[in-house]
Structure 1
Amino acid sequence: MTAARPVDAASILLLDRSDESVRVLVGRRSSKHVFMPNVYVFPGGRRDATDRLVSVANPLHPAACERLALRSGTRCSDSRLRALGVAALRELYEEAGISVGPPLDAAASDALPFRPDLSRLRFLARAITPAGMIRRFDTRFFALFADEAGIDPAGATASHELEDLRWMDIFDPGGIEMPDITVLILEELQKSLQEDKSLPFGRTAPLYHTRRGRFLRDLL
């Protein structure tokens, strides 16, 4: 049997810092999912082929693009990097009903009812599913402050893909069951915010992957 190759995916850590604590949006994956059912994760999913074609309101920050491109292979292009940002915001809309970007006219034929604004997305981390899993993803994790994007945290709405949406204190998950990689990414967020609450766009980002059976954390 041919080993599954990882496909591009994107996930977003939407952050609410309106109170003393910082909260992140998570939801429970449906029991119908083949990959990681019934656990709490950040909104996200695979990059669609059409994500490259979506017109954006503003591009990714140059420093975020530079980090994203590292160790992404010779086929990495500006359109592929932009598509990863689009995928993160598209999934946020599809799974939690949150739009990031100016609305489009109702008569527009675009795939999304808004033009994604990628300019405030911070590249936080990257993780590649180990070989042997039923599905493999090369996931880029982005962080976004809700207030910077003009998002009302109360507007998050559960979907058939992501149920029981919760705003979780990043330093107090409260016993919520999460996959190991989600826990690791949450820990990366904790460390990053403790180092600099603004989450600078050009900061180094960890890459979690396996090589010859060893689980590794490299820096990009």
Structure 2
Amino acid sequence: MNDRATPQSVARADVRPKDAASLILIDRSDGKPRVLLGRRASAHVFMPDLYVFPGGRRDPLDHSRPFASDLNPQVTERLLAGSRRPMTSKSARALALAAARELVEETGLHLSTSAASPELATLRFVARAITPPGQPRRFDTRFFLTFTDEVGIDPTAIRDSRELLDLQWLDMSDISCLNMPDITRIILGDVIDLMKTDPSLGFGRDVPFYLLRGGRFVRLML
């Protein structure tokens, strides 16, 4: 077996993670929580044909986007904890605004009752994960969560996009057969466990952080 690294493998190992954000949106209107997931298009280099939460890379313009209400201070504090690079409150807010923007672009839903500036105050910070080395794309993703009734979202208003197809509200207790990335399944499992003890999911709890360290997949707490 040839153990020498090819230029392509070296390039992939050196890919620096880009800041990204994802939104876990839960509909609890009928008493049985459902989560919104969509299938990434086949043309994607990163995670094609897998079911994921809406989300994507933070854009430079996200730092200056307007917002109707700011993040809960406890959420901002957790976002700042353990950052690879110095981060300001504005940078932390930009991650939440990225999640709100991606939600609109990928599903047509707005974190607002009027399709105006997004309401960030209801967003919980529930997980962080860094794509392992060796992938063609790597992201340092922060996962936010909110409930549809908290921001006036009509669950029936979802629409497919070029980014996410086959958008569905799925019973959180019955998604075992869905083709999704391991990290998506792990984080969703964390949320399900948390909701068993705290259905409202408070803002100040510790946040799991998943990454590869020393060749091992580890779970730290922020």
Common topology (TM > 0.5): yes
CA drift of 1:101 comes to 2.5
Q: Which residue of 2 aligns with 1:108?
A: none
Which residues of structure 1 form unaligned runs of 5+? 104-112
1:59 paired residue among 70, 78, 83: 70
**SS of alignment partner, residue 101 of structure 1:** coil
Q: Which residue of 1 aligns with 2:150?
A: 148
CA distance in 1, matches of 2:196, 2:221: 18
Q: Which residue of 2 aligns with 1:107?
A: none
Find the structure with the greater CA-based Rg.
2
Aligned length: 211
CA distance in 2, matches of 1:18, 1:197: 13
Q: Which residue of 2 aligns with 1:110?
A: none
Which residues of structure 2 form unaligned runs of 5+? 1-9
The answer as to whether partners of 1:57 and 1:102 remain within 8 angstroms in 2 is: no
CA-to-aligned-CA distance 1:42-100 (integer Å, 9 cap, x gap)? 00000001000101111100111111111014520111100000000100000000011
CA distance in 2, matches of 1:49, 1:42: 22
Q: Which residue of 2 aligns with 1:29?
A: 40
Q: Which residue of 2 aligns with 1:80?
A: 91
CA distance in 2, matches of 1:134, 1:33: 11
1:49 paired residue among 60, 66, 69: 60
| 1:128 lines up with 2:139 in the alignment | no
- With the length of structure 1 as denominator, give the TM-score of the two structures: 0.93
The answer as to whether partners of 1:206 and 1:217 remain within 8 angstroms in 2 is: yes
The percent identity for this pair of structures is 51
Q: Which residue of 1 aligns with 2:185?
A: 183
Q: What amino acid sits opposite 1:164 in the alignment?
A: D
Q: Which residue of 1 aligns with 2:170?
A: 168
Greater per-residue helix proportion: 2
1:197 paired residue among 189, 193, 199: 199
CA distance in 2, matches of 1:174, 1:19: 21
